Amino acid sequence: MEAFISLVLTTALLLGSPGPAPLALAGVGASFGFKGGMRFLSGILAGLLVVIFAVATGLGTLFTTYPLTKSICQFVGVAYLLYVAYKIASAQGSIAEREGAAPSFKDGFILNLINPKAYAAFLAIFANNLLILGDPLLSVIMTGVVCFAVAVIVDGLWMAIGGSLQTIFATPAQAKQLRLVCAAALLVSVISALTL
């Protein structure tokens, strides 16, 4: 039970700390509302499943053996995160008008697929918090399931927090300021993720 609690807390802290995905979710929630951002959230979670699978099957070894591969992935990731930040910052109009322009499932999927923080977090989790259940395959699978369940809650909360800011920033000028702050925070998190 202690190992399970440690895994849940570690995952919540690593995935819940401000980074590219959480800040993008907050920005999408603030710009398009929780309902308008559901496709993006679903894409984020689907991308996270791929990251969990990749890390569990040895992606860390590939990055260590071929550092250029990691650098290429980081470059592509930064470029895509800049695109998402632009999409958040450049949204216009009311929530009803913006809903159709919200980042898509594909945007969320790609964002987390190339998010350096996600890989670093899961490399740390699987190295230090793997549930030991007797069978190594079962240990990896259950660790991944618990991590994903925590991610669903944490990522949903980030988007809900962003969505709740809409009522505070109701005028178009205030909404624009909020979108710019969210986009700027996303850019800062991209720079921070590159130092991992």
Q: How distant is the alpha carbon of residue 55 from its chain centre?
A: 16
Ramachandran bin of 131, using left for φ above 0, alpha for ψ from -120 to 50, beta for the remaining angles? beta
Among residues 176, 171, 165, 163, which one has the least CA distance to residue 89?
176
pLDDT tens across 4-46, in order? 998 899 888 888 877 788 888 988 888 888 888 999 999 999 9
Domain span holding position 166:
2-194
Considering its fold, how many domains does the chain have in total?
Answer: 1
* CB contact burial 27-64 (16+ within 10 A = b; e otherwise): bbbbbbbbebbbbbbebbbebbbebbebbbeebbeebe
pLDDT tens across 124-155, in order? 888 788 888 888 888 889 999 999 999 999 99
pTM of the model: 0.74
pLDDT at 125: 83
CB atoms within 10 A of CB 89: 18
**Calpha distance 142→23 (Å, rounded):** 27
Among residues 101, 96, 100, which one has the least CA distance to residue 172?
96
- What sections of the chain are H helices per DSSP? 2-16, 20-36, 38-56, 59-65, 67-89, 95-98, 105-113, 116-128, 136-164, 172-194
**Calpha distance 79→91 (Å, rounded):** 19
pLDDT at 50: 93
